[in-house]
Amino acid sequence: MLSAFAVLLCSTAVLAWLNERFLRIPTTVGVTLAAALASGSLALLDVLGVDVGLREAVESTLETLDFTDFVLNGVLSILLFAGALGLDARRLLRQRVSILTLAVLGTLISTALIGVGAWAVFGAFGVGIPFLWALLFGSLISPTDPVAILDLLKRARVPERLRHLIAGESLFNDGIGVVLFVVLSGAVGVGGEHAESGDPTVAGVALVFAREAVGGIVFGLAIGALGYYLVKTIDGHVVEVIITLAMVLGGYTAAVALGVSGPLAMVMAGLVMSAGKDRAYFGETRHQVEGFWETLDQVLNILLFAFIGFDVLFADGETGLVGASVVVIAVAIVARFVSVGVPMLLVRSRERYGRWTVRLLTWGGLRGGIAISLALSLPDVPERPVILTATYAVVLFTITVQGLTVMPVIRRAVEHEPEARGVREDEAAGT
Length of the chain (residues): 431
Say yes or no: 326 and 391 in one domain.
yes
Q: Decide which of 64, 93, 111 is a domain's last residue.
A: 64
Instruction: With beta carbons less than 8 A apart as the criterion, state whether 76 and 216 touch.
Output: no
Say yes or no: 224 and 150 in one domain.
yes
Using CA atoms, how far apart are residues 105 and 110, in angstroms rounded to an integer? 8
For helices 2-18 and 54-64, the axis angle rounded to 10 degrees is 110
Instruction: With beta carbons less than 8 A apart as the criterion, state whether 327 and 117 touch.
Output: no
* Residue 301 or 130, more confident: 130
- Per the structure, the count of domains in the chain is 2
**14 pLDDT tier (thresholds 50, 70, 90):** confident
Say yes or no: 261 and 293 in one domain.
yes
Say yes or no: 28 and 109 in one domain.
no
Q: Identify the pLDDT of residue 160.
A: 84
Say yes or no: 235 and 189 in one domain.
yes
How big is the CA angle at 290 (ends 288 and 296), to the nearest 5 degrees? 100
Say yes or no: 102 and 71 in one domain.
yes
Handedness of CA 114, 119, 121, 122 (dihedral sign): positive
**310 pLDDT tier (thresholds 50, 70, 90):** confident
Q: Tell whether the model's pLDDT for residue 425 goes beyond 60.
A: no
Q: Decide which of 33, 64, 95 is a domain's last residue.
A: 64
Q: Decide which of 47, 64, 81 is a domain's last residue.
A: 64
Say yes or no: 239 and 315 in one domain.
yes
Q: Tell whether the model's pLDDT for residue 376 goes beyond 80.
A: yes
Q: Tell whether the model's pLDDT for residue 276 goes beyond 80.
A: no
**CATH number reported for the structural domain that contains residue 339 in this entry:** 1.20.1530.20
pTM score: 0.84
Say yes or no: 96 and 41 in one domain.
no
Q: Identify the pLDDT of residue 307.
A: 76
Q: Identify the pLDDT of residue 329.
A: 97
Provide the CA 200 distance to its chain's centre, in angstroms.
27
Q: What is the pLDDT of residues 139-188, one digit of tens each?
A: 999 999 887 777 777 777 788 888 889 989 998 898 889 889 988 988 88
**304 pLDDT tier (thresholds 50, 70, 90):** confident
Q: Report the pLDDT averaged over residues 374-384.
A: 88
Which residues, other chains included, contact 406 with Cβ-Cβ below 8 Å and sequence gap of 6+? 152, 360, 363, 364, 366
Closest C-alpha to 187, from 177, 198, 178, 197: 197
Say yes or no: 37 and 78 in one domain.
no
**73 pLDDT tier (thresholds 50, 70, 90):** low
Say yes or no: 103 and 127 in one domain.
yes
Q: Domain residues for 53?
A: 1-64
Say yes or no: 21 and 124 in one domain.
no
Using CA atoms, how far apart are residues 101 and 411, in angstroms rounded to an integer? 25
Using CA atoms, how far apart are residues 40 and 337, in angstroms rounded to an integer? 30
Q: Identify the pLDDT of residue 393.
A: 92
Instruction: With beta carbons less than 8 A apart as the criterion, state whether 87 and 146 touch.
Output: yes
Which residues, other chains included, contact 398 with Cβ-Cβ below 8 Å and sequence gap of 6+? 365, 366, 367, 368
Q: Tell whether the model's pLDDT for residue 430 goes beyond 60.
A: no
Instruction: With beta carbons less than 8 A apart as the criterion, state whether 36 and 90 touch.
Output: no
Which residues, other chains included, contact 181 with Cβ-Cβ below 8 Å and sequence gap of 6+? 136, 139, 140, 374
Please count the helices (runs of H) and the strands (runs of E) in the chain.
21, 0
Say yes or no: 11 and 119 in one domain.
no
For helices 160-187 and 262-275, the axis angle rounded to 10 degrees is 160
